[in-house]
Amino acid sequence: MSDLKGKFAVVTGAGKGIGAAIAARFLREQAAGVAIWDYDLCLAEQTAVQLGGNAVAICCDVSDSAQVAAATQATLAAFGRIDILVNNAGITRDAQFQNMTEKQWNDVLRINLDGPYHCCKHVVPLMREQGYGRIVNISSSSANGNFGQANYAASKAGLLGLTKTLAKELAGKGITVNAITPAMIDTDMMRAVPEKILSRYIQIIPLQRLGTVDELAAAALFLASDDASFITGVTLPVNGGTFIY
């Protein structure tokens, strides 16, 4: 697989979990710099220190357009350009629909869907100017609908719509836009699922285990690399063979 030599990347929500693994993999593949955007600055700084000199930690709540504008400027000041944007920050606030509060609905939509919108809004103009960009959006298999996740499913399905539309609008500008739909990756988000439900889920994964953050990072690397230069608007499932649960 081609490396990321000379490329500068932003990974949102990279303080831990999937985002941190993507940042680490990008740097192992010789990315020139990775900006760790996270609303938890302590986490972002810990991760940046672990990853070494080419990682910078930037405090950014992706649901706030002004913070995204400031983080974009801070990244430009550090790197001079942004070649790759990974929209990874995301949360769950699960409840069956009849019990789901307006706050649970709004919190998830603001972070999981408005967040990528704000990041694209501020970063895409730079990519258009450069005539080059790679955007990777971390959606979810829950975009197909999932019990107790009306808010999360709607946000992640919306993200697929954003991905496919931007792919068409930006294809002539040297910018590709793709999505990954993970399921059952072993992170804190997954560990929040009650043990009984989790073991039921694992039984119906054809590969019979949770995925690792490194397996997800490998898919993000492919879509961010020039090996994927003729691929745009696709959704890549990374889910151990699971399509319905």
Ligand X SMILES: NC(=O)c1ccc[n+]([C@@H]2O[C@H](COP(=O)([O-])OP(=O)(O)OC[C@H]3O[C@@H](n4cnc5c(N)ncnc54)[C@H](O)[C@@H]3O)[C@@H](O)[C@H]2O)c1
Q: Active-site residue numbers?
A: 152
75/68 Cα distance (integer angstroms): 10
Backbone angles phi, psi at 164, to 5 degrees: -70, -35
- Is residue 19 a contact residue for ligand X (CB under 6 A)? yes
Q: Which is nearer to ligand X, 75 or 140 (CB)?
A: 140
Candidates 5, 77, 188, 194; binder of ligand X (CB under 6 A) is 188
CB of 21 to ligand X, least distance (A): 8
CA distances from 235 to 74, 81, 114, 160, 238 (A): 30, 26, 19, 8, 10
Candidates 41, 91, 95, 126; binder of ligand X (CB under 6 A) is 91
- Is residue 12 a contact residue for ligand X (CB under 6 A)? yes
- Is residue 7 a contact residue for ligand X (CB under 6 A)? no
Candidates 7, 15, 167, 232; binder of ligand X (CB under 6 A) is 15
What are the percentages of helix, strand and coil residues in the chain, rounded to 5?
50, 20, 30
Q: Which is nearer to ligand X, 229 or 243 (CB)?
A: 243
Q: What count of residues does the chain have?
A: 245
- Is residue 117 a contact residue for ligand X (CB under 6 A)? no
Bridge partners, 90 (sequence order) = none
- Is residue 43 a contact residue for ligand X (CB under 6 A)? yes
CB of 181 to ligand X, least distance (A): 7
Decide: helix, strand or coil at residue 138: strand
- Is residue 150 a contact residue for ligand X (CB under 6 A)? no
Measured on CA atoms in the order 46, 44, 131, 170, is the torsion positive or negative?
Answer: positive
Candidates 85, 185, 217, 219; binder of ligand X (CB under 6 A) is 185
CB 84 within 8 A of CB 224: yes
- Smallest CA-to-CA distance from 7 within 70, 79, 71, 68 is with 79
107/166 Cα distance (integer angstroms): 24
- Cα dihedral 96, 101, 106, 111 in deg (nearest 10): -60
Residue located via tokens 């400027």: 73
- Is residue 190 a contact residue for ligand X (CB under 6 A)? yes
CB of 173 to ligand X, least distance (A): 25
* Candidates 1-9, 12-20, 117-125, 164-172; binding stretch for ligand X (CB under 6 A): 12-20
* Candidates 26-34, 38-46, 101-109, 224-232; binding stretch for ligand X (CB under 6 A): 38-46
CB of 120 to ligand X, least distance (A): 14
- Is residue 17 a contact residue for ligand X (CB under 6 A)? yes
DSSP 100-127: --HHHHHHHHIIIIIHHHHHHHHHHHHH
Which residues here bind ligand X, judged by CB under 6 A?
Answer: 12-13, 15-19, 38-40, 43, 60-63, 88-91, 111, 115, 138, 140, 182-185, 187-190
